Amino acid sequence: MDVNKNKALNFDNKKVSSDLLKDKSNNLESSFSRKDPWIIVGFDPGLTVGIAIIDLSGNLLFLSSFKEISKADVINNIISFGRALIVASDVYPIPKSVKKLATALNSKIYTPPRIMSVESKKELVDSFIKTIFPDQVIENAHQRDALAAAIKTYKHYEKKLNQIEKKTREMDLNPEKMDQIKSLVINGTPITKAINEVSEDKNILNALDKQRDDIKSHLSKKSRDDIMPQQSYPDIKIQHPTSKIDENNINPESSEILLKLKRRIKTQEKQIKKQEGIIKNLRDKNKISRNKIQRNKKEIFRLKSRIDKLYQDYSQDILLNKELSSKSELIKKLINQYKEEKSHRKRLEENLKSIQKIKSMEISKNSIPVKIVKSFTKEGIKEAGDYWKIKKGDVILLKSSRGGGSNTASLLVNIGLKAILTTDQMSHTAREVFEKEDIPIINADKLELRMVDEFAIIKAETLNNEIAKWNSKLKEQRKQEEEKKLLTVIDEYRAKRKRKPMD
């Protein structure tokens, strides 16, 4: 086997295939001694492609990976090892590049029913490699995936291939005929039928030569002497078939033997004629096949040139599409960024206008601006504080008092608000915090609020009246509470006096 040829194909920086082929050369000589052996090709597509080739006996012929290799070079590398019977992939569904390669090679496609995991591929490849090279480790993922696909495919057909070898063990078939049978079976022909077809083709010429020799031997004088020795039949005179035999001078027993010989010669002459017709047909078919091969070679050369041109065009299109895609992504990013900045600017402008209006109202003594807090939570208070710049002496409107407790109430107390307007019922704990710090809590329904942009306006006189009412109510409430406490103390004192024994 020409090992240097295989090394030349491995122009990747990895040297796995050249080492494998070097050590494996003695075992693979039988594979390359065949004329165009059938092979299984494991193919891992991508920017870096992986190629693994094994024969139908499970021998590793080639393993390598290539960066930016053309499709034409991939095909050339594969067909230099034989005829691709199957192109195998390790993923499902089948990639388009695998389908295209199989079409170009006129091959079947095999792919596992589901995607193989990295662990299963590593285990499969390591187990296969260790049987050949115990110390060899394949680190290239592309080579590993291609070899895993080839091994998986071979194992899928291994049972049938072993059955073929078992059935043909005593038939003395050469490796080329064995490959032919295996290829027929893989393509769907039953094993027995495939063996019969190949065996029949193999034996036709041998049978023709044998029958010719037999007939010639019977026609020769030596053959006649062997069949009818003169010492056994002294009264019979054996003549050459072309000479005239005097049938009147032979006894009945010899006449019967002669008649059998004539029948046998006639039968064999018919067989010769038939076989000569078969030979002529085969020669004609052979001539037609040679012409077809020549035409196919020219077509292959034309297609290779076409493939190279298409690959160049395809590569240029890919580079152009990548550049366009990159520019398009950048433009989209800039557009989104512009929209966000524009929206942010709009919000800031609206906020600025609202704040300016609020400041102008703060100067006025007739109206008071009311800043809105959407939710009575830490996040809601922080968001409103950042947006409205809430400060001491401001009036706020809680659109929702839900979720507010003593902790959230303390955040507003620390600001030092003038009043808090509510639209619903506030929790008891939060209300106690505000009442303790004398911050009025007023129901917004009692006030005539007017919305302006994103804030509200209330008349200063109306607000002050409500604050005064709230303060008066709070004072009365505290007074009642003090009286209750005093009465409670008096009652406790009286009860204590009653329980004390008299002196």
369 in Cβ contact with 460 (< 8 Å): no
Among residues 19, 13, 18, 9, the alpha carbon closest in space to that of 135 is found at 19
339 in Cβ contact with 365 (< 8 Å): no
User: Using CA atoms, how far apart are residues 503 and 496, in angstroms rounded to an integer?
Assistant: 15
Give the per-residue pLDDT at 453.
Answer: 66
Q: Average pLDDT per run of 10 along the chain, which is 503 residues long?
A: 33 37 39 68 94 93 91 93 94 91 94 88 90 75 94 94 87 84 91 83 50 51 42 37 48 71 84 84 86 89 87 82 85 88 77 63 68 87 82 86 85 87 88 87 82 78 85 85 84 78 54
Give the per-residue pLDDT at 228.
Answer: 40
Q: What CATH number has the domain spanning 365-474? A: 3.40.1390
447 in Cβ contact with 420 (< 8 Å): no
For residue 94, count other CB atoms closer than 10 A to its CB: 14
Give the per-residue pLDDT at 308.
Answer: 83
Task: Give the helix, strand, coil percentages of the chain, each rounded to 5.
Answer: 65, 10, 25
Kindly report the CA angle at 435 between 432 and 440, in degrees rounded to 5? 130
Question: What's phi and psi for 15, nearest 5 deg?
Answer: -115, 25
Give the three-state DSSP class for 168.
coil
52 in Cβ contact with 119 (< 8 Å): no
Alpha helices, H only, 168-190: 175-186
pTM score, whole prediction: 0.39
3-189 adopts what CATH topology? Nucleotidyltransferase; domain 5 (3.30.420)
Give the per-residue pLDDT at 214.
Answer: 55
